[in-house]
């Protein structure tokens, strides 16, 4: 039970991988290839149980590693990892022993394991291409610092400071060099009016006809 709890805790720790783009690839690869791995495990289970049944019927009366069906599964699994006793199999059955071992190595180790690696490799390629397009949303250090600031209460102070800075910027837009906003608006209106009058006067002079010379003596006056 202790080992099971430690295993589940370590698997739970993998959730922290989502805070780093590179470490996130591992969990995303397994998630992306989940359905394909499920189908693969079904096929692999059928093939592996077939070899286990054959090995149990062949070697259970002679070899300790194949005395029970459970020990047969463990022995064949260790054979798949490279730990096996080929001499004992040959001594027990001179013809079927090498044939069984040869078929097991070809089908289970060379074909099935390579199929599993190809599924993982294909899913890893897809995840890496998608992950390269997206940016790193949040680093674990930034997340921990944000949580710590929120727990202490520094986040509220920073928000109030930002709001006060934004209000000061808005006040500076309306009031330049501590001048009255009404006076500043009147000055801007006066300059714009003078520019408009100059442009209108130049327009009338450029479009003056020779028959209407008296237009040159006209002036535009605005009284306030």
- Domain assignment of residue 148, yes or no: no
Residues 136 and 182 grouped into a single domain: no
pTM of the model: 0.52
- Domain assignment of residue 65, yes or no: yes
Number of Cβ within 10 Å of residue 12's Cβ equals 9
Q: How many domains does the chain have?
A: 2
pLDDT tens digits, one per residue of 114-133: 999 999 998 888 888 877 66
Mean pLDDT of 141-147: 69
| Residue 164: partners with Cβ closer than 8 Å, 6 or more residues away | none
Q: How many residues does the chain have?
A: 224
Q: How far is CA 121 from the centre of its chain?
A: 18
Structure tokens at 21: 């783009």
- Domain assignment of residue 55, yes or no: yes
Range(s) of the domain holding residue 57: 2-140
Structure tokens at 70: 């459970």
CATH number at residue 94: 1.10.287
pLDDT tens digits, one per residue of 145-169: 777 777 777 666 666 666 666 666 6
Residues 97 and 185 grouped into a single domain: no
Residues 88 and 190 grouped into a single domain: no
- Domain assignment of residue 157, yes or no: no
Collapse the DSSP code of 179 into the 3-class scheme (helix H, G, I; strand E, B; otherwise coil) and give the result: coil
Do the beta carbons of residue 73 and residue 60 sit within 8 Å?
no
Residues 117 and 39 grouped into a single domain: yes
Residues 94 and 192 grouped into a single domain: no
């Amino acid at each position: 039970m202790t080992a099971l709890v430690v295993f589940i805790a370590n698997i739970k720790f993998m959730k922290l991988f989502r805070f780093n783009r590179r470490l996130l690839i591992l969990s995303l690869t397994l998630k992306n290839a989940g359905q394909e791995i499920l189908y693969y495990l079904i096929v692999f289970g059928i093939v592996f149980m077939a070899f286990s049944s054959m090995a149990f019927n062949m070697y259970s009366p002679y070899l300790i590693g194949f005395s029970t069906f459970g020990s047969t599964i463990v022995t064949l699994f260790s054979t798949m990892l490279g730990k096996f006793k080929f001499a004992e199999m040959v001594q027990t059955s001179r013809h079927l022993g090498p044939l069984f071992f040869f078929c097991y190595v070809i089908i289970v180790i060379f074909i099935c394991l390579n199929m599993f690696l190809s599924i993982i490799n294909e899913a890893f390629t897809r995840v890496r291409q998608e992950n390269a397009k997206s940016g790193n949303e949040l680093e674990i250090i930034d997340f921990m610092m944000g949580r710590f600031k929120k727990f202490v209460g520094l986040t509220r102070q920073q928000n109030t400071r930002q709001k006060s800075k934004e209000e000061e910027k808005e006040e500076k837009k309306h009031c330049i060099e501590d001048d009255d906003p009404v006076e500043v608006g009147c000055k801007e209106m006066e300059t714009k009016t003078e520019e408009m009058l100059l442009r209108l006067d130049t327009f009338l002079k450029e479009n003056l006809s020779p028959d209407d010379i008296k237009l040159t003596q006209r002036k535009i006056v605005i009284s306030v």
